[in-house]
Amino acid sequence: MIYVVNFPFCNFFSLERYLRVRGRPYQILSLRDRLSSSDQVLLPGVGTFGQAMSYLRDQQLAPLLQDHVDQGGSLLGICLGMQILFEFSEESPGISGLGFLAGGCVPLPTALSFHVPHIGWNHLVSPPKKSSCSELFDFLPLGGLSRSDYYFVHSYVVKPSDSSVISACFEHPVGPLCASVHARNISGVQFHPEKSGPDGYALLDQLLDVNSNA
């Protein structure tokens, strides 16, 4: 079963459409739910780091998520949902994230050819020092670019302490920045596959299938 955390200010209806169109049964996650390791939890999210963590604390969902991850259950964070997998964000100083992955979120640097917020479609590139072969992203052999573009909308970017968890990057004048992470049973994407048309839906299919086999 897929469980969705229904944050306020989240892209729930976009995700709900994907799950409905693809015929994937789901439930809204609540404190009463007893998750098994074969369940998958989706953390969507739009808004601020502080708002999202405050919701999880108020609903007492953070310990539930921790137990799920500890039991080997898979977790997929989308956009803000990926950022809160980490320990902190400079967007909301003093507020701790879920801390499932080491590192935090920092403001996206502004540049002449890169306006912030990063709003719009962008391609992915394979992370530095990793081969272009990826279970998830079909990087082109020449140049290491993804075959499709995905929709981004964010002002902060994740900076993992362990760069080996980065599974894809987006290009920025300062160098490649983290676009997705994958470590054990936890994965996250900074962009919105549920808003990226048929190519995004196909990627979500893969993300959920890979996670269910993890």
Q: Per CB under 8 A, does 137 bind another protein?
A: no
Contacts to another protein from residues 50-109, by CB under 8 A = none
Interface with another protein (CB under 8 A), residue from 23, 60, 112, 175? 112
- Closest contact distance (angstroms) between CB of 46 and another protein is 6
CB of 105 within 8 A of CB of 89? Answer: yes
Q: Which residue has the tokens 């900076």?
A: 159
Nearer to another protein, 175 or 213 (CB): 175
Taking only Cα atoms into account, the Rg of the chain, rounded to an integer number of angstroms, comes to 16
Instruction: Name the one range near another protein by CB under 8 A: 53-61, 67-75, 143-151, 158-166.
Output: 143-151
Residue 112: which residues within 8 A CB-CB, separation 6 or more? 173
Helix (H, G, I), strand (E, B) or coil at 149: strand
Token digits of residue 50? 């502080």
Q: Per CB under 8 A, does 182 bind another protein?
A: no
Tell me how many degrees the CA angle 86-59-48 measures, rounded to the nearest 5.
Answer: 45
- Closest contact distance (angstroms) between CB of 158 and another protein is 15
- Closest contact distance (angstroms) between CB of 80 and another protein is 9
Closest CA to 76 of 52, 100, 96: 100
Q: How many CB atoms lie within 10 A of CB 128?
A: 11
- Closest contact distance (angstroms) between CB of 174 and another protein is 14
The 88-89 sheet, strands edge to edge: 88-89, 103-107, 156-160
Q: Which residue has the tokens 């990793």?
A: 130
Interface with another protein (CB under 8 A), residue from 40, 74, 126, 148? 148
- Residues binding another protein: number (CB under 8 A): 44
Q: Per CB under 8 A, does 206 bind another protein?
A: no
User: Per the residue annotation, which of 10, 68, 79, 105 is the catalytic one?
Assistant: 79
CB of 66 within 8 A of CB of 178? Answer: no
Instruction: Name the one range near another protein by CB under 8 A: 5-13, 56-64, 97-105, 206-214.
Output: 5-13
HSE-up of residue 106 (Cα within 13 Å, Cβ side): 8
Q: Which residues bind another protein (CB under 8 A)?
A: 8-14, 16-18, 21, 46-48, 110, 112-123, 147-149, 151, 153-155, 192, 194-202
- The residues annotated as belonging to the active site are 79, 192, 194
